[in-house]
Structure 1
């Protein structure tokens, strides 16, 4: 595969960064993962906005322009001979002298990865497993999609390698938080529930999109602090992320749920797929888009 690295498209065997990059030395970097559908980078505007907020928090100056990113993505898709691709846009602080720095970073390292996606199985079911490991607290006031991933990795080790399982983090206060690589939703009495960012979750772009869809569909939404019993009492449960889309849950602990047969899971999946080849931002839903 070919990658974009600081202005150049290079083969993966030739890609390199400086050992003095503070993204490597101190974890100062953020990234976004998203998909292209028939060459279209779904919700790219929102992914870039979150990336920029993270860079500002890390004191990394950026010169990211959406049109330029789209041009790079198109060039990579052509070079890699792909249309439907997994994409990861990674920006780190760049090379500096060893030592903690307080002044802004002005020489960031940007890498864009792509890889071929396996055929997507629509509404592939997952089993939810409550983790013993608690979700750690964010390094700043809001969780960044950053290089600090040990909590997620440790959770995945606890869960095991199965792709049919997704771990469910609780916060240290025992509130439902999120999945290892996903956000969690559930439906009870025709109303949608999801944890608040106050629990320390990553505010996923797909999470935000599903909330916007619910608003347009006039489905009542509750965002707050919930104990795990609320999930176990649900009528339907599903996970979301930008690569696997909407993942219905068929079982949590010893309880079974409708999974892919769920009415609301099917509804959200249907609406989701209507937009993947042309929507660049969630805000477009409220700018003349009709459901």
Structure 2
């Protein structure tokens, strides 16, 4: 496979990053993952909006436009001969002296990875698992999609490598937060519920799209602070992220949910699927 790095398309085993990169030394870096459907980068504008905001927050002097990223995506996809793919766009602070830096980072390292990923023929399903590991609080005022992943790794180790399972974090106060690599939703009485970003969760791009789809379709929507009993009383529940899309929950412990048979998740997924090859942003709905 080929990788893009700082203006060049090179073989993945030729990628070199200095140990003086502050992304390596201090975790100063952010990334976005998105999917390419038949050559279209789904919700790219929304991903870049979040990425550019995060870079500004981290004082990394770099911003990306759709045109710039599309040029990279096309070049990399041609090199790898892919039309359907997983893409990770990674921006680290760049090289600096050993020690904490307060100045702006002016020469970040930009890398784009890609691997083949075909559109699913139907929704995946997963078992939800309550985590003992608590969701840590964001390092800043809101959670960034940053290189700081130890909390997620600890949670993943807790549930193991079973791809049919997703862990569900609680905050230290006992409120439902999010999945290890996902946001969580549930439906009861015609209302779609999801934890507020004030719980310290990542405001996922797919999370925002699902909320926009719910609004477009006239659903009631509520964000708030919820205990696990409220989720367990739901009619349906599902996870969301940009790679796995909408993933219905089949059970949490002994509580069984309808999974992909649930009509609300099915309707959302069908609506979602219609837009894969056309939407640049949820704002187009």
Q: Please give the TM-score of this superposition, normalised by the length of structure 2.
A: 0.99
Separation in structure 2 between the aligned mates of residue 172 and residue 274 of structure 1, nearest angstrom: 39
Q: CA deviation at 1:29?
A: 0.1
Separation in structure 1 between the aligned mates of residue 184 and residue 118 of structure 2, nearest angstrom: 23
Separation in structure 2 between the aligned mates of residue 169 and residue 136 of structure 1, nearest angstrom: 9
Q: Could you list the runs of 5+ residues in structure 1 that have no partner in the other structure?
A: 286-291
Deviations, residues 158-205 of structure 1 (Å, cap 9, x unaligned): 011100000000001100000000000000011100000011110000
Q: Using a 3 Å threshold, how does the CA distance of structure 1 residues 184 and 63 change in structure 2: closer, same or farther?
A: closer
In structure 1, the partner of 2:197 is 197
User: How many correspondences in the alignment?
Assistant: 285
Taking the TM superposition and a 5 Å limit, the aligned residue runs for 1:157-196 are 157-196=157-196
Deviations, residues 220-272 of structure 1 (Å, cap 9, x unaligned): 00100000101100000000000010000110110101100001000100000
Asked if the contact 2:155–2:180 (Cα under 8 Å) also holds between the matched residues in 1, the reply is yes
In structure 2, the partner of 1:249 is 249
In structure 2, the partner of 1:288 is none
Separation in structure 2 between the aligned mates of residue 157 and residue 121 of structure 1, nearest angstrom: 29
Name the SS for the 1:276 alignment partner.
Answer: coil
Separation in structure 2 between the aligned mates of residue 273 and residue 64 of structure 1, nearest angstrom: 27
The ranges of structure 1 where at least 4 consecutive aligned residues each deviate by more than 6 angstroms after the TM superposition are none
Q: Does 1:265 align with 2:261?
A: no
Q: Using a 3 Å threshold, how does the CA distance of structure 1 residues 119 and 211 change in structure 2: closer, same or farther?
A: closer
Q: Does 1:277 align with 2:272?
A: no
Q: CA deviation at 1:121?
A: 4.8
Name the SS for the 1:260 alignment partner.
Answer: helix
Q: Does 1:125 align with 2:125?
A: yes
Q: CA deviation at 1:120?
A: 2.5
In structure 2, the partner of 1:27 is 27
In structure 2, the partner of 1:215 is 215
Separation in structure 1 between the aligned mates of residue 133 and residue 204 of structure 2, nearest angstrom: 21
Q: CA deviation at 1:282?
A: 0.9
Q: Please give the TM-score of this superposition, normalised by the length of structure 1.
A: 0.97
Q: Could you list the runs of 5+ residues in structure 2 that have no partner in the other structure?
A: none
Asked if the contact 2:85–2:116 (Cα under 8 Å) also holds between the matched residues in 1, the reply is yes
Q: CA deviation at 1:63?
A: 3.7
Separation in structure 1 between the aligned mates of residue 63 and residue 251 of structure 2, nearest angstrom: 45
Q: CA deviation at 1:118?
A: 5.5
